[in-house]
């Protein structure tokens, strides 16, 4: 495009990069390029990492928070937030726009590589901001985001959805209930490639059809989840038996449903109400002081009835 590019400055602000939860995940195949195809029901928590941006003389990145040390010494080429900024600039340039230098501060509250999309959510938060301030490029940003990781496009959308392909194909749910949820990570390291390598089958059927219009209440959601699986669960629990311990203890503590998210090691437990969740959090913290626990809620959509009780 000819002519000088329009300089776009992002105003100082902080946005949430919410945890992505795979409520159900069926492995349906494997492509020639090695990527596995999936059928998954995803939702997003009301908690996650925080990404702050501010105008600056040149690009800067800093991380804080309980899991920031894991990013220390990270090669900028492997930093998903910086890669997302570079991607946003390339897409903006094709539309005659230039994103001005930014100071980026990441409050890393989610565990690294834990099955809840932390890095993907961080990248998606940056891309969402870029799409808001650079008119017209949001669709191109979402399409290009797949190059950063299969979870990034769904994290840009940030809504309850059925996703397929390698994660890039999604259908938003019109009805999804907010539901109390406790995230638990026992601190076990699980490498996603090793989980997939251990799969005994890669050709499962996709998820059963969703109820027309989605889920009207938490009870309907839990009933549906009981008819589904996480096909990565057995392999992950072979690598890290602590995942199974966390899952069983969530149920023993009062969760109406518990399952591993993604490739692990984080497990989610769904609860009938906040009081039950807080009791479970207290008992699990006392029994396992080294575990990471995050009491939260899965964000719902309009038109769903929230109370389970």
The answer to whether residue 120 is domain-embedded is yes
The answer to whether the predicted template modeling score (pTM) of the entire model surpasses 0.85 is yes
Which position among 107, 122, 151, 180 bears the catalytic label? 151
Residue ending a domain, among 149, 172, 195, is 172
The count of structural domains within the chain is 2
The answer to whether residue 307 is domain-embedded is no
Residue ending a domain, among 131, 152, 172, is 172
Q: Quick: pLDDT tens for 221-279.
A: 999 999 999 999 999 999 999 999 999 999 999 999 999 999 999 999 999 999 999 99
Instruction: Give 286's contacts (C-beta < 8 A, 6+ positions apart).
Output: none
Considering only CA atoms, which of 309, 308, 247, 306 is closest in space to residue 280? 247
Q: Quick: pLDDT tens for 55-96.
A: 999 999 999 999 999 888 788 788 999 999 999 999 999 999
Which position among 20, 108, 122, 231 bears the catalytic label? 20
Domain of 38, in residue numbers:
6-172
Which residues is 161 bridged to in the sheet? 42, 172
254 burial (CB, 10 Å; 0-12 / 13-18 / 19+) is middle
Q: What is the DSSP string of 102-166?
A: EEEEEE--SPTTSSS-HHHHHHHHHHHHHHHHSTT-HHHHHHHGGGG-TTHHHHHH-S-EEEEET
Q: What is the CATH number of the domain that holds 249?
A: 3.30.70.890
Q: Quick: pLDDT tens for 182-198.
A: 999 999 989 999 999 99
Cα–Cα distance measured from residue 271 to residue 216, given in angstroms and rounded to the nearest whole number: 16
Cα–Cα distance measured from residue 116 to residue 137, given in angstroms and rounded to the nearest whole number: 27
The answer to whether residue 288 is domain-embedded is yes
The pLDDT value given to residue 213 = 81
CB 4 within 8 A of CB 93: no
Percentage of residues of the chain with pLDDT beyond 90: 88
The answer to whether residue 303 is domain-embedded is no
* Mean pLDDT (whole number) for 50-56: 97
* Catalytic site includes residue 151: yes
* Catalytic site includes residue 108: no
CB 10 within 8 A of CB 101: no
Other residues' Cβ atoms within 10 Å of the Cβ of residue 278: 14
The pLDDT value given to residue 1 = 46
Is 248 found in the same domain as 168?
A: no
283 burial (CB, 10 Å; 0-12 / 13-18 / 19+) is middle
3-state secondary structure of 302: coil
């Amino acid at each position: 495009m000819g002519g000088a590019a329009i300089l776009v400055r992002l105003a100082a602000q902080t946005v949430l990069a919410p945890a992505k939860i795979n409520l159900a995940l069926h492995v349906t195949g494997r492509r020639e390029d090695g990527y596995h195809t999936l059928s998954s029901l995803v939702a997003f928590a009301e908690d996650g990492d925080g990404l702050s941006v501010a105008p600056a003389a040149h690009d800067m990145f800093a991380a804080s928070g309980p899991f920031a040390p894991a990013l220390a010494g990270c090669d900028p080429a492997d930093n998903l937030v910086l890669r997302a900024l570079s991607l946003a600039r390339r897409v903006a340039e094709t539309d005659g726009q230039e994103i001005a230098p930014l100071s980026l501060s990441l409050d890393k509250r989610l565990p690294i590589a834990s099955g809840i999309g932390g890095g993907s959510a961080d990248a998606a938060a940056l891309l969402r901001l870029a799409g808001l301030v650079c008119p017209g490029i949001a669709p191109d940003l979402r399409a290009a985001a797949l190059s950063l990781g299969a979870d990034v496009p769904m994290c840009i959308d940030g809504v309850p959805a059925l996703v397929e392909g390698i994660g890039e194909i999604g259908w938003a749910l019109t009805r999804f209930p907010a539901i109390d949820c406790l995230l638990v990570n026992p601190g076990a390291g699980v490498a996603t490639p090793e989980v997939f390598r251990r799969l005994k089958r890669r050709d499962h059927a996709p998820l059963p059809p969703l109820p027309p219009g989605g889920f009207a209440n938490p009870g309907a959601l839990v009933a549906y989840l009981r008819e589904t699986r996480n096909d990565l669960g057995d392999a992950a629990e072979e690598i890290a038996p602590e995942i199974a311990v966390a899952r069983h203890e969530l149920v023993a503590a009062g969760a109406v449903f518990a399952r591993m998210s993604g490739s692990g090691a984080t497990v989610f437990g769904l609860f009938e109400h906040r009081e039950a969740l807080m009791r479970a959090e207290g008992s699990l913290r006392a029994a396992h002081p080294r575990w990471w626990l995050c009491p939260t809620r899965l964000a719902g959509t309009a038109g769903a009835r929230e109370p389970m009780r």
